[in-house]
């Protein structure tokens, strides 16, 4: 039986998907879309490498221990994923608006959640963290970091405008192991399952069953979820041969998890 063909970069779930370009062809930028030139933070008196290294030092001091995560955080230029008016804040530990009432997560939260993924049982085997599903691509920053830690990344976004923004942001990086998908993240992406890790950038009232079904045995899900009195907390779910184990961690604040596409 033939295995389903995995998507390339970018990929679409919507039935109106455009055909893939021929091998080696450049994917055209959508009409009306302007690609931003690479910009370095200005007014800091430091180049972006030095600024990123200071961010990494702060992450390590805050408790991030994974060298793979710290290296990935230092290797991805966060200022390329935020609006030009916000580049001077790009390496501060703060969330920033990216349009459509969405935000790019704090660097500390990105590092924390990816480090938690690395704790999955199946990630301890030779080869490290395997295939990961990201729910909520946003501007593409976390997908870029994941692409330096995991073997393969599928990232799904329900808002077409953000999917296009992430595609434009990630194209120059040529991350061949990162696949962008436009669709309803609450349904996951069964064609890429099972996943060693699933990570969500939006918080709901319950974990969608599709995510649990698509998680591999030995895999781990890290997501914000609403618990007592409407408070969002970071939830870690591990899938074992005998079922699921759940750990509730610190309070967090993410945008709401929604279904459908827009």
- Contact between 109 and 117 (Cβ < 8 Å): no
Active site residues: 105
Q: How far is CA 45 from CA 23, 35, 85, 128, in A?
A: 42, 26, 17, 38
Q: For the chain, what's the residue count? A: 262
Q: Are 166 and 147 in contact (CB under 8 A)?
A: no
3-state helix, strand, coil in the chain (%, to 5): 30, 25, 45
Handedness of CA 256, 168, 222, 188 (dihedral sign): positive
CA dist 52 and 55 (Å) reads 5
């Amino acid at each position: 039986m033939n295995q389903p063909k995995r998507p390339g970069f970018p990929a679409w779930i919507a039935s109106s998907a455009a055909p893939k370009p021929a091998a080696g062809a450049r994917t055209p930028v959508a009409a009306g879309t302007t690609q931003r030139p690479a910009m370095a933070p200005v007014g800091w008196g430091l180049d972006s490498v030095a600024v990123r290294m200071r961010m990494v030092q702060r992450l390590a001091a805050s408790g991030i221990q994974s060298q793979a995560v710290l290296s990935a955080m230092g290797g991805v230029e966060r200022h390329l994923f935020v609006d030009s008016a916000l580049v001077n804040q790009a390496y501060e530990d703060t969330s920033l608006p990216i349009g459509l009432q969405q935000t790019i997560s704090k660097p500390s939260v990105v590092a924390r959640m990816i480090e938690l993924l690395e704790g999955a049982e199946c990630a301890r085997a030779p080869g490290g963290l395997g295939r990961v599903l990201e729910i909520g691509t946003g501007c593409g920053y976390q997908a870029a970091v994941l692409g330096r830690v995991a073997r393969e990344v599928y990232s799904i976004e329900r808002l077409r405008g953000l999917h296009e923004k992430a595609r434009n942001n990630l194209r120059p990086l040529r991350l061949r192991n990162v696949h962008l998908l436009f669709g309803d993240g609450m349904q996951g992406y069964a064609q890429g399952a099972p996943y060693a890790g699933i990570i969500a950038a939006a918080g709901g009232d319950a974990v969608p069953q599709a995510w649990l079904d698509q998680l591999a045995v030995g895999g781990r899900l890290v997501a914000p979820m609403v618990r007592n009195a409407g408070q969002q907390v970071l939830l870690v779910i591990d899938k074992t041969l005998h079922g699921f184990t759940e750990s509730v961690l610190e309070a967090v604040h993410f945008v709401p998890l929604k279904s459908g596409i827009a």
